[in-house]
Structure 1
Amino acid sequence: MEIWMHQLLEWLALPQFGLSTVFVVSFISATLLPLVSEPAVFGLIKINPELFWPAILVATAGNTLGGGVSWWMGLGAHKAVDKARGNATDVRALHWLQRFGARACLMSWLPVVGDPLCAVAGWLKLPFWPCLAYMAVGKFFRYLVMTSVLLYFMPEHIVR
């Protein structure tokens, strides 16, 4: 297992794949597809410590844009349901989310509920740009904290 992990970390750290891999994995993991991006970010930073801030920023950008895609998917789903039903959809169960508005997207960093939250924000037609800004702030702090904690608790060198 250690050899496989070491090889994966080396591959992710290659300059031609490193930051672009982090972007793509972060983008996809922000959609409703089941994927986590922290190992890719951690792997790149572990092999190339000088890429700490670029990796955090690229992961934040990819994850935020993926959240934006989820927002648009939610909006599209709402419009499709409204059109199929012939009237506006009433979403009473999500009243609390409407009360918080775009600020609720700050919680998009949370596991399990964070990615669907972005889609629900689109469903509720919350304003896109404020939602995206709150997503970016939440996701930035998630990557910063998660990566810092992993770097703190992981041994300095990977043993083959």
Structure 2
Amino acid sequence: MLSAYIALTASAFTSATILPGTSEAAFAAFLYRYPQEVWGAWLAAGLANGLGSMVSYGMGRLVPDRKRPSEKVLRRFERWGVWLLLFAWVPVVGDALPIAAGWLRLDPLKCSLMLLAGKFIRYGVILAGIKALV
């Protein structure tokens, strides 16, 4: 079971970075194989996915000032601030949000809290969907 947790954690982590990943499938497969490990899987996936997003945030802080996020992203952050990071789990565009937040030098603690909240909500919704199907 340890190797399954490692695989789930790795998938969740990489899925939150610019690397490709399939954490939803890994999460569902883990729960199919180990249905008694619901809370452990939810915790591992949420934390790893949140940590992956914080790595992306850190990468954003390293982006030179002359490389700006798109005007659309800037307008959204001006309007919503760190709350926008609750949606960093959205496929494709979600990966750019933590990078933009880092580039904008938004508060790292607030960003990490929003990222983690969004990721735990994400896996909670997936978990609810799996439970509804079973």
Partners in 2 of 1:92 and 1:114 — Cα distance?
Answer: 14
Runs of at least 5 residues in structure 2 that lack an aligned partner in the other structure? none
Quote how far apart the aligned CAs of 1:75 are.
Answer: 0.9
Give the match for residue 75 of structure 2: 95
Runs of at least 5 residues in structure 1 that lack an aligned partner in the other structure? 1-14
Mean CA deviation greater in 103-112 or 92-101: 92-101
Write the letter of the residue equivalent to 2:45: A
Give the match for residue 41 of structure 1: 27
Partners in 1 of 2:69 and 2:128 — Cα distance?
Answer: 39
Partners in 1 of 2:69 and 2:93 — Cα distance?
Answer: 17
Partners in 2 of 1:137 and 1:90 — Cα distance?
Answer: 26
Quote how far apart the aligned CAs of 1:96 are.
Answer: 2.6
Identity between Structure 1 and Structure 2 (%): 35
Partners in 1 of 2:107 and 2:80 — Cα distance?
Answer: 12
Are the counterparts in 2 of residues 108 and 115 from structure 1 also a CA contact under 8 Å? yes
Partners in 2 of 1:115 and 1:25 — Cα distance?
Answer: 15
Moved over 3 A (4+): 89-92
Give the match for residue 10 of structure 1: none
> Kindly tell me: are residues 76 and 50 of structure 1, through their superposed partners in 2, closer, same or farther at Cα, counting changes over 3 Å?
same
Are 2:45 and 1:59 equivalent residues in the alignment? yes
3-state DSSP class of the match of 2:88? helix
Give the match for residue 11 of structure 1: none
Are the counterparts in 2 of residues 68 and 132 from structure 1 also a CA contact under 8 Å? yes
Are the counterparts in 1 of residues 82 and 106 from structure 2 also a CA contact under 8 Å? yes
Instruction: State how 1:82-121 maps to structure 2 within 5 Å.
Output: 82=65, 93=71, 94-121=74-101
Are the counterparts in 1 of residues 76 and 84 from structure 2 also a CA contact under 8 Å? no
Instruction: State how 1:6-155 maps to structure 2 within 5 Å.
Output: 15-77=1-63, 81-82=64-65, 93=71, 94-153=74-133
Aligned pairs, number: 132
Partners in 1 of 2:84 and 2:132 — Cα distance?
Answer: 30
> Kindly tell me: are residues 54 and 95 of structure 1, through their superposed partners in 2, closer, same or farther at Cα, counting changes over 3 Å?
same
> Kindly tell me: are residues 148 and 123 of structure 1, through their superposed partners in 2, closer, same or farther at Cα, counting changes over 3 Å?
same
